[in-house]
Amino acid sequence: MTEVRRLEKSEVDAVSALARVVWQATYPALISQAQIDFMLADRYAAERIHAQLDDPRHAWWVAQHNQTLAGFAHASLDGMDCKLDKLYVHPDSQRQGIGRALLATVQDWARAQHARRLWLQVNRGNTQAVAAYQKQGFRILESRIFDIGHGFVMDDHVMERTL
């Protein structure tokens, strides 16, 4: 049984820990360990997530599967669009519909915010994620290299779907 609900402030550290597990299982073949560490420290800093939880333009969700934290998602409003900024599922819980449930929740929230489009960035080499998003109706708009500072870049597809 999977339950998707809003992230509570008391769960921020657990989400950051889950992010590390997922990233270590996914990204070492795609980016350096130094970049993984940099991005985790930047994007999952407790103070950053707490600030986003207090900002109505941002929303975070967690997915619990059999009462265990199995995944999470974060989205933010971007004008009349919504950016799916994060959607991750524990490697042991993938292919069980958890990502699909998180995505459906994000889409419902985006529609309630009157967003017309949902977009995201995904590493070009993450073929499993690219295929999963395409299966959910996303299309690749462009492929770009984004400079994220400290000598690191993200080599991503920008994908979108209308809402």
Rounded average pLDDT over 26-54: 97
Q: Which residue segments constitute the domains of the chain, with CATH numbers given?
A: 2-115 (3.40.630.30)
Query: Among candidates 61, 73, 58, 52, which has minimal Cα distance to 129?
Result: 73
Residue type, 24: Q
Contact 61, 2 (CB under 8 A): no
Contact 61, 15 (CB under 8 A): no
pLDDT tens, position by position, 107-152: 999 999 999 999 999 999 999 999 999 999 999 999 999 999 999 9
Please tell me the distance from the alpha carbon of residue 117 to that of residue 146, in angstroms, as a whole number.
Answer: 21
Structure tokens that stand for 52 in this block: 């986003």
Q: What's the mean pLDDT when you consider all of the chain?
A: 97
Rounded average pLDDT over 55-66: 96
75 burial type by CB count under 10 A (0-12 exposed, 13-18 middle, 19+ buried): buried
Structure tokens that stand for 141 in this block: 């708009």
Calculate ∠ Cα 149-128-30, nearest 5°: 35
**What is the structure's pLDDT at 1?**
85
pLDDT tens, position by position, 5-26: 999 999 999 999 999 999 999 9
59 burial type by CB count under 10 A (0-12 exposed, 13-18 middle, 19+ buried): buried
Contact 73, 133 (CB under 8 A): no
Contact 86, 59 (CB under 8 A): no
Q: What is the pTM of this model?
A: 0.95
